[in-house]
Amino acid sequence: MDSDNPNCSSSRACAKCRSYKFRLYHPGRLKYPLKQTKKRGDLSGFVRISWEQALDEIARKHKAVTDKYGPESFHSIYACGAYSSSWQGGGYTGIWTGISTSAAASLMGGYAKYTHDYSFHQRSFFGTGYTGYNGSSANANTVASAVKNVVLWGSNALSTVNSSAYSEIRSVEMLKQRGGKVWFIGPEFVDTGVTLADTWYQMKPYTDTALILGMLYHAIDTTFDADGNKKAGGLLDVDYIDTMVYGFFDSPEYYINKDTGTISFTAPADGSVKVNAVPAGRSLSAYIMGRDARLTKAAYSGNYVADQFASKQAKRNGSICSYISSAGNATKYKTKKDFLTPKTPKWASDITGIPEQAIKDLAELYFNQDNHPIYSEWCGAQQKQANGVINMFALQALLILSKSWGQTGDGLGRAFGGARSNAAGTLNVSISRPDVPSSPATPVISCTQWHNAIKFAFKEQLTANGYSAKYIPDWDYRNSESGVYYEDGGAKALYTWDREADGTIKTNADGYYKWKTGKDGKPLKAGFRFILNSGGNIPMNQHMDPNDAREMFEALDLGSTQPDNPDTFCMVSFDNFLSPSPRWSDYVLPAATTWEQEDIISISLGNSLYIPVVSNAPGQAKSQWNFTNDLLKAVGKLKGVGNELATKFTGGIPNQQIEDLVKDAFGKASVNPQSLYHGKTWEDFINNPYAPKTASEYAPVTVTKTTLRENLDNYLAGNMSQAFISGIKTNEKAGYGAQWLQSTIDLCPKASGRFHVYSDSLVYCYEHRFEQWHGYLASKGQATGQANKDFENDPLVYPIPLYYAYEDYFNEAYGVMNGKNTLDMNKGYLLTTTHDRYRAHSSQSENPYLRELTHRIKGGALYSGNDWNEYGNIGAAQEVKAGETANLARLNQTISKGQPIAGKENVASWSEVWMNNQDAAAEGIADGQLITIGNPIGDVRVIARVTDRVVRGFIGLHQGCWYDPDPDDGIDDGGCANTLMAQRPSRVDHGNGQQSAMVWIKNK
């Protein structure tokens, strides 16, 4: 630990680690395999079975399903309950990873994988490829010694990225000693803002793009007068934008030679690439200016690109904004009503709540090059919204236009931690599995669309069993032919595919993949029929709208009572507790915790670390490794190959353990003079396996420019009469689901070689996603790809970062646009969720020590923390006889009908929500009062925490609490934020827009 070195993480045990014994020895720990015998979710229906029975029935179910419906019907769902380990981890990065290739799943015959993750779906989808933005990320060295200003766009990194917290604090201290400043923008003054920021810009949630557009308007306004003439000292570097940016102004169709930068307007024979026009009034600046016509008077001139364009288009914009609504003035969308509205700082102020002058000040901060390097830190909540991709698009556009790239410290990233330092001579532990087959190709869909994949497979059964989709008010489920909500994220690609003997999917003469048909001549819908939930809580807690998931799971025929039936759904959960997702599973298998299984885990800023078993697992709980080994034995038995699959998984040696692999690596290291472990014994290693290494020394950096930026600055300082070669690379055929017909590939928009703030590729890719998998739809004359239409048949996705009004999203998601509901937006509160320091997502929600720090009893006092026999203790069902669990109806057994059970007044607790003190006074709500907040998606009971650390009109509910609906009124007493989040995915990427909710106070 080094208090002066920003590279030193100064790691200390946090509250989660210090309280881990309450997790290890919690009476609710799962000890034995359980099988549901009644209805999913019915706690009284679980019965204890042997591991032998569980593995046999699970293997039979898997075989029945995949034999009929193919590998695409088996899915290892996203799960990060054991995120740190690729050796023992679950469905994200571990043994059963669904995002890369799982050896175990491949040995079972393959499976359907997913793309992206629940933390950064929008950011990883959009990346920087659609804009070409190339600003760099920064570490603590850079911030401490080079950066002048840090802008935190809602970041709460000190709580969410514990390993970088000290480095971030120390580097900001050093930045401020040099005169630097930190700006925090967001609706809740989270601990990161309180600790680091000089200024808090109090912004309403979901309005980042409006703020950026207001800043860009100010930059234009300082640069062009009403007649389109350039002003002296304007914020925009127009020559730079002409040279390096595509789509800020309207432009004609042209051809560009990528090697020379030369522009022509007829197709030359030198391999030049056609760049599509930015049509009149469709550029980003045209949208920003609305009906303000000054840029239709501004001449293209002054540099090579402008002079070329002027020969075809004299003025920078061919018209005022030409985006229109097909419904005209009758449109229900606020977004469309604002098409012609100039996006002035006043306009942005009315939307965001940030004062007009502050918006101008922020614009001048970014566009004044003397303030650079500026490091902009995005956050998970900023992108994990209904329009999170658009937020990322707008932020990159701002950084491109303000030249926040191309030099040390000028960039965009997440937490700026210390420089990583690895010790030399550490162990290299690996496993060889040469005989593991490749997993057959299947559609790779968004990790968030598993529920659609289930509905696609079981549309008829769900309908027959009374599923209503009442918690998805913007969906006409009964008239949905496919059973898939919101086009589509990949679910409609999950037919059963006709394959060659080697697993390759056959292709029809028309270029589409070939599907299989059933006995009735209809295509077999694979969907997801068998889900392995290995160490995760996505299905019933960490995904939006658990009320809908509950209705769906309960309407599906139980799979555990018919293990040989391929036409019933089955979910298997491997977990430590009977948390919400295991509760609604068919089989629940007991898992060892991190301290109860050997593992190799990642260490912050350092080397991987081998940890042996520290504490024995309770009952018959297994490690992930041993569970997988045993399951593969059961699968191999059914396949007639005995233990062959399991032996291939363990590296060719039957029942080989991780410890065996570590011992082998250690044996080699102990005789290697270059190793840290030379001459040591195994006992020496076990007593101190950590590889000693001090943090990298603080090394101040000098601000230097990239070659491209240096060349560009020299070019802009010259006469600019010749072409400039930028070499910027942007996406063409991109994103998941990019399996297209050749004719579609041929027409894909081509990159301009410049930065893009207008992306016709973004729209094109959206509209054609998964096209090659949609041959059956084409054969029926139905549209392939994804429908780019909203409720008025206007586009959902545009080529520029529009501000999509949050009111429109809620009117869509809550069933106002389709006439199902009416809502008074003026009385609603915007709600987002943050991570706190006392849970890792939903892990440790059961821990009474940590619940003490996040929950309060009626009246506002912190509760006593002694409810571990009554909260999450439904694992006791494993220890009693059949029939004695009939009273187990919920997680929290200290609450009934929204009130404490008699005698439990000082124990019964609810999660707290943060509410602005002025709003609370206006509502007549006191600090500590038990209230109900809700919307058409769901209702939650919570305790009000009255504070001035959130903006007016906003309520903050921390994420990760366990879903616990009251058996009588259905209101969630658990405080699960996702109970309030609509199923509607985020725009463009079909991600988890679960930072977007509007709630009404329903009961005070």
Query: Alpha helices of 376-425 — where are they, by DSSP H?
Result: 380-383, 388-401
Task: Specify whether the CB–CB gap between 372 and 148 falls below 8 A.
Answer: yes
Which among 333, 249, 382 has a CA at the least distance from the CA of 804? 333
- Rounded CA gap, 489 and 988, in Å? 9
* Cα gap 471→493, rounded to integer Å: 25
pLDDT digits (tens, 9 = 90+) for 654-667: 999 999 999 999 99
User: pLDDT exceeding 70 applies to what percent of the chain?
Assistant: 97
Total Cβ atoms within 10 A of residue 969: 12
Task: Compute and round to an integer the Cα radius of gyration of the chain.
Answer: 29
Mean pLDDT of 498-512: 95
Q: What are phi and psi of 889, to 5 degrees?
A: -120, -5
Q: Which residue has the higher pLDDT, 478 or 74?
A: 74
Residue 914 forms beta bridges with which residues? Answer: 945, 956
Biggest distance spanned by C-alpha atoms of the chain: 88
The Cα 747–Cα 758 span in angstroms is 18
Q: What is the mean pLDDT of residues 85-96?
A: 83
Nearest to residue 191, comparing CAs of 167, 170, 160? 160
772 neighbors 741 (Cβ within 8 angstroms): yes
Confidence class for position 142, pLDDT limits 50, 70, 90: very high
Mean pLDDT on 729-736: 87
How far apart are alpha carbons 815 and 503 in whole angstroms?
Answer: 43
pLDDT of residue 83: 59
790 Cβ neighbours under 8 A, 6+ residues apart: 333, 796, 812
Which CA distances in Å does 751 have to 269, 270, 702, 728, 799? 18, 17, 33, 9, 14
E strand or H helix that includes residue 193: helix 191-196
pLDDT at 619: 93
Mean pLDDT of 647-652: 97
Cα separation of 607 and 602, whole Å? 7
Residues 961, 885 contacting (CB under 8 angstroms): no
Tokens of 552: 């769906």
Amino acid at 748: C
Strands (E), 244-286: 245-246, 254-256, 263-264, 273-275
Q: In this prediction, what percent of the chain has a pLDDT beyond 90? A: 80
Task: Average the pLDDT over 536-558 and give the result.
Answer: 97
- Per DSSP, the three-state class of 197 is coil
Is residue 988 within 8 A of residue 762, CB to CB? The reply is yes
Q: Do 54 and 532 contact (CB within 8 A), yes or no? A: no
Query: Which band of pLDDT confidence, cut at 50, 70 and 90, is reported for residue 604?
Result: low
114-131 pLDDT, tens digit per residue, is: 999 999 999 999 999 999
CA separation (Å) from 79 to 27, 49, 637? 24, 25, 28
Contact (Cβ atoms closer than 8 angstroms) between residue 951 and residue 202: yes
CA proximity to 374, closest of 150, 707, 166: 150
pLDDT of residue 177: 97
**Could you tell me the two tokens for 4?**
């002066």
Looking at residue 510, what DSSP letter applies?
A: T
Q: pLDDT (tens digit, 9 = 90+) per residue, 238-255? A: 999 999 999 999 999 999
Q: Which two tokens stand for residue 86?
A: 């690729």
Residue with tokens 């915007």: 830
CB within 8 Å of 641: residues ≥ 6 apart = none
The per-residue DSSP string of 13-40 comes to: --HHHHTHHHHHT-TTB--S-EEE-SST
Between CA 63 and CA 70, with CA 69 as vertex, the angle to 5 degrees is 75
Within 10 angstroms of residue 505's Cβ, the number of other Cβ atoms is: 20
Give the range among 305-314, 373-382, 769-778, 798-807 with minimum mean pLDDT. Answer: 373-382
Higher pLDDT, 98 or 242: 242
Question: What's the Cα-to-Cα distance from 874 to each of 560, 580, 964, rounded to whole Å?
Answer: 20, 11, 12
CA–CA gap between residue 841 and residue 835 (Å, rounded):
7
Mean pLDDT across the stretch 74-93?
Answer: 82
Sign of the CA dihedral with 88 first, then 93, 97, and 102 last: negative
Kindly give the residue spans of alpha helices, DSSP state H, lying in 803-896: 806-813, 848-851
pLDDT tens, residue by residue, 265-296: 999 888 899 999 999 999 999 999 999 999 99
Tokens of 486: 């919101």
Residue 914's SS3 state is strand
With a cut of 60, say whether residue 877 has pLDDT above it.
Answer: no
What burial letters (b/e) apply to 651-665, b meaning 16+ CB within 10 Å?
beeeebebeebbebb
pLDDT above 90 for 882: no
Per-residue CA distances from 460 to 474, 520, 558, 678, 733 (Å): 20, 15, 15, 65, 36
pLDDT over 70 at 683, yes or no: yes
Average of per-residue pLDDT values in the chain: 93
Confidence bin at 752 (pLDDT 50/70/90) = very high
**Is residue 322 exposed (0-12), middle (13-18) or buried (19+ Cβ within 10 Å)?**
middle
Going by C-alpha positions, the residue among 614, 631, 616, 622 that lies closest to residue 590 is 622
- Is the pLDDT at 603 greater than 80? The verdict is no
> Which 8-state DSSP code applies to residue 161?
-
Q: Tell me which of 28-42, 776-790, 882-896 is least confident.
A: 882-896
pLDDT tier at 7 (50, 70, 90 boundaries)? confident
The token duo for 442 is 């299947």
Tokens encoding 446: 């968004």
Q: How far apart are CA 583 and CA 577, in angstroms?
A: 9
